[in-house]
Amino acid sequence: MVSAPRLSFRSLPAAHAQLPPRRLPGLDPAWSRLVAARTTDGSRTFHVLDTGPLLAERGIPVRGTILAVHGNPTWSYLWRGLLAESLRRGGAEGTAAGWRVIAPDQLDMGFSERLAHPRAPRPQHVGQHDDAGYRRLEQRLDDLDALMDALDVDTALPLVTLGHDWGGVISLGWAMRHPHDVDATATLNTAVDHPVEEHIPAALRAAMAPGLLTASTVETRGFLSVTLSLAEQGLDPEVRRAYLAPYRTRDRRGGVGGFVADIPARAEHVSRGALEEISSALGEWTKPSLVLWGPKDPVFQERHLADLQRRLPHADLHRFEGSGHLVAEDRDIASSVLTWLEGLTWTDGQLVPEIGGRRSPEPAAEIDGLHAQLAEMTAGWRRGSPAVVDMTGEEPATLSWQELSARIDALARGLSELGVARGDRVSLLVPPGNDLTVVLYACLRVGAVAVVADAGLGVRGMTRAARSARPEWIIGATPGLALARAFGWPGRRISVQALSSRQARLLGTVASVERLLRSHVGRTPEVPAPAPEDEAAVLFTSGSTGPAKGVIYTHGRLAALVALLRRQFDVVPGSSLIAGFAPFALLGPAIGATSVTPDMSVTKPATLTAVAVAEAALAGEATMFFGSPAALRNVVATGADLDPEQRAALRRIALVLSAGAPVHPDLLDAVQELFPTAEIHTPYGMTEGLLQADIDRGQVHEAMATRQSGVCVGRPVAGVHVALAPLDAEGRPAEELVVLQEPPQPEAVGVLAEVVVSAAHMKAGYDRLWDTDRASSRDDADGLLWHRTNDVGHVDAEGRLWIEGRLQHVITAPGGPVGPGSVETPVDALEEVARSAAVGVGPVGTQSVVVIVEPQTDPGELSTGRSPLATPEFAAAVRGAAGDVPVSAVLVLEELPTDIRHNSKIDRTRLAVWADRALTGRRPGTP
């Protein structure tokens, strides 16, 4: 534990408050005012940014007040985006009133009055004496009292506090002091407690070290410079200078050092009592709360966020992945705060949520859907037939339905006795196969929440996912546990295999699945069945278009998905599924199908071979096969390796499914040759809803003959509602949805739009991503909660859905928005092309369409020497295939970059940057 900080100021004089320089980026001088207030130690003058006078000048009524409190060593400049956005929205169309934002500079900070600092004594423990030389937490709360009295804020209107850093503690503390006046709280990165036995974060430890505090915070700008360096992309030089403006000389930095000295890390610190009073009161706070968090913060860490959530379990939380301590500079927190407030309603003297958590009603499906098939399959003659077959080892490993059910019961009992409780989150770091199936169903049986972030995310992505989900437990194979230990992933660890004492100690495990099974054989769990609304799983998306998001499924929604899959694909007892996609492997037992895990790398779907599929078909007597487009492509490419017995096994496959990315008709034709008797379907869905539409190979060819843009994914399956959000000239989807009818309305046909869906088996929400959840969800008068898929496409006159790409990849050409798929689909059909990507280069609204091609053969045959530009002949062929879409340039690249989870989703964002470099004469390098 770091020793108590000591201030050893040379005398610092008092100084009057002043207005900031008139030309600071983003700061309107009209917001600034000096306010005299009578504090507990006399009359003091604060510099305050306040939109109240401007609202009055414009005749805009005040809807409520936001009191925004900065931390150390920033000043009210931190909130300039909030002030600007509040004024922009105030009085705008549809808005009758505006939010008044009051952002004071705390005393001794920013441009507020500077307090005199005499040469400070050196007590044994700084903070034990009133003459410690800095302003204490309790005094800062008193200062806010004085300032709000002086501003004469109307507390009959909604009053909201907002804070950051130590301003977060102060703003929350002031709210706890005035619980009848404050109606809601919001905070950025902060901490309301620091257990005395825990170390101070390393980022603060150096500044608080004896002999360094004054030198780093007052005598030099070291503390300031380090803090300002924490912006994600670095601060613009002018913005950095604005933050430094109030602190240019040591005479003006006394408050910076005082703030650090007032961190109550020790039990005897003078401010410790005030901090504990705030943290204790926060646990009783039930009014609306919002937490916006930058996870890369070296000061306020995951443990501080976890503590906040324990005290405010009802709070809406959004983690801005990739951002850190200066989250207000990294992200548009102003829109988040104001949008959150707009979702609250002023009723009976209190602010209350208008839509609680944005969750739609649970579906009416039976909640035992995940386990009902296990009971059915073990009750009769099928009890001894295979339930799961794992081909990933040296020999196939098979569990019968009876054995699978017994293992699930035994492990569920063991986990329950170990302490795994209903609602606990359990991160599963187990490769697909029999072990993972047993572990997953045992967790669901005891009501634990399975957290699934597969290895395809990579170590960085899995680390981000683990810290976001914050599981209480980790169950993993040795490689996964080693990663968890090395990267400090949260959760008590349970190994799959029994470990030696030394191995268990090294990996920090508390138990093993193998021993729990052995010691609880024949025993069943004595816990109640989960309820429909209980969380069942957090499934992380692929992360192919940004940081992976945790998608929440409840037991009711998983049961609805199981029922839909059985109905759509006519799955009957005795069916057998080769699962080249983990979610379907895990759902196999629930739909009553034998699940066969083929021999392949889970992180590289393209490693699945025709021989591996055939061997899985032989071992499991398979009737169905599911593989990603990348997996199918390699299966076709390795088809020549099959022997007669293996070919015969593939002829017995009756259904082939592929999803994860659009599948070209030519690939479907090649797949049909390997599986000659199979129906080939390419269902459309996403992690947020694994099945939305369906189409078979014959229907694909029928649809593609109409030469429409994109890839046809068929018609919505039963129970799925589809709506469109048409795109404007800049590629932005409309807020008002066009709900499709049967047949579709003429005005909706052929319109490029974002696809929006609603169904009983959709996600219950995004985990700890309030803003993403809000932005992706829309509700209507019929009680439906719509999910904005971020996919763009159109509907044809036959009611078929066509997908043309992702919203963020839409090209905003002068003639209107263009979906990448409208170009890629016909270009992919060219004999020379393996894959293509269409990207936009240039300013929004005037972008040029650039096509990048991965050739079937040597790239040098299609490009012009050392340049990636295509030969004139090949470029002409591509332009001809693109039809009416004007293609400005054609580039050739040996291999298009893809996501590592599906090996199918092309990274068009990286390609757009690469293309821009190539076309502007810069060395493009490798995308």
Q: What is the predicted pLDDT for the residue at 319?
A: 96
For residue 538, the surrounding DSSP H or E stretch is strand 535-540
Assess contact for 882 and 870: CB atoms under 8 A. no
CATH code of the domain made up of 810-919: 3.30.300.30
- DSSP secondary structure letter of residue 361: P
* C-alpha span between 216 and 213 (Å, rounded): 5
Residue 590 backbone dihedrals phi, psi, to 5 degrees:
-70, -30
Q: pLDDT tens for residues 276-324?
A: 999 999 999 999 999 999 999 999 999 999 999 999 999 999 999 999 9
Residue 212, classified by CB atoms within 10 Å of its CB into exposed (0-12), middle (13-18) or buried (19+), is: middle
Burial 737-776 (b: 16+ CB within 10 A, else e): bbbbeeebeeebeeebbbbbbbbbbbbbbbbbbbbbbbeb
Query: What's the one-letter identity of residue 565?
Result: L
Assess contact for 568 and 578: CB atoms under 8 A. no
Assess contact for 907 and 899: CB atoms under 8 A. yes
- Enter the tokens of residue 578: 């080769």
**Protein fold of 398-530:** Rossmann fold (3.40.50)
- The closest alpha carbon to 684, from 699, 706, 666, 669, belongs to 699
- The closest alpha carbon to 189, from 280, 290, 106, belongs to 290
- The sign of the CA dihedral 906, 908, 910, 914 is positive
- List CB contacts of 683: < 8 A, sequence separation 6 or more: 568, 657, 659, 691, 692, 693, 694, 695, 713, 714, 717
Q: What is the predicted pLDDT for the residue at 123?
A: 38
Beta bridge partners of 839: 850
Query: What's the one-letter identity of residue 521?
Result: V
Assess contact for 577 and 617: CB atoms under 8 A. no
Crossing angle of the two packed helices 401-418 and 369-379, in degrees rounded to 10: 130
Q: Where are the domains of the chain?
A: 29-353, 398-530, 569-682, 706-806, 810-919
- Enter the tokens of residue 692: 């939305």
Query: What's the one-letter identity of residue 419?
Result: G
In the three-class reduction of DSSP (H, G, I as helix; E, B as strand; rest coil), residue 399 is classed as strand
- Cis status, amide bond into 743, omega within 30 of 0: yes
**Protein fold of 29-353:** Rossmann fold (3.40.50)
Angle of CA points 511, 512, 516, to nearest 5°: 95
Assess contact for 559 and 370: CB atoms under 8 A. yes
Q: pLDDT tens for residues 195-224?
A: 777 777 776 776 777 678 888 899 999 999
Assess contact for 578 and 612: CB atoms under 8 A. no
* CATH architecture for residues 706-806: Roll (2.30)
* C-alpha span between 175 and 281 (Å, rounded): 10
* C-alpha span between 76 and 80 (Å, rounded): 7
- DSSP secondary structure letter of residue 571: -
* C-alpha span between 223 and 153 (Å, rounded): 34
- The closest alpha carbon to 50, from 34, 70, 61, 39, belongs to 34
- Enter the tokens of residue 837: 């990507």
For every residue of 443-490, DSSP letters joined together read: HHHHT-EEEE--GGGHHHHHHHHHHHH--SEEEE-HHHHHHHHHTT-S
- DSSP secondary structure letter of residue 15: B
In the three-class reduction of DSSP (H, G, I as helix; E, B as strand; rest coil), residue 614 is classed as helix
Q: What is the predicted pLDDT for the residue at 355?
A: 40
* Count of beta carbons in the 10 Å neighbourhood of residue 28: 15
- List CB contacts of 500: < 8 A, sequence separation 6 or more: none
**Protein fold of 569-682:** Rossmann fold (3.40.50)
Query: What's the one-letter identity of residue 2?
Result: V
For residue 913, the surrounding DSSP H or E stretch is helix 908-919
* C-alpha span between 876 and 149 (Å, rounded): 73
- List CB contacts of 507: < 8 A, sequence separation 6 or more: 478, 481, 482, 485, 493, 495, 499
Query: What's the one-letter identity of residue 28?
Result: D
Assess contact for 620 and 389: CB atoms under 8 A. yes
- Enter the tokens of residue 738: 């066009």
- Looking at the chain, the whole-number percentage of residues with pLDDT higher than 70 is 90
Residues of the chain with pLDDT under 70: 1-10, 93-95, 119-133, 203, 206, 210, 346-374, 379-381, 544-545, 581-585, 602-603, 780-783, 899-904, 922-925
Find the length of the chain. Answer: 927
Query: What's the one-letter identity of residue 272?
Result: R
What predicted TM-score, i.e. pTM, was given to this entire model? Answer: 0.89
- The closest alpha carbon to 663, from 688, 681, 676, belongs to 681
* C-alpha span between 538 and 550 (Å, rounded): 6
In the three-class reduction of DSSP (H, G, I as helix; E, B as strand; rest coil), residue 341 is classed as helix
- DSSP secondary structure letter of residue 215: I
- Cis status, amide bond into 855, omega within 30 of 0: no
398-530 matches 569-682 in fold: yes
- DSSP secondary structure letter of residue 593: -
Cα atoms in the Cβ-side hemisphere of radius 13 Å centred on 655:
20
- DSSP secondary structure letter of residue 434: H
* C-alpha span between 48 and 31 (Å, rounded): 8
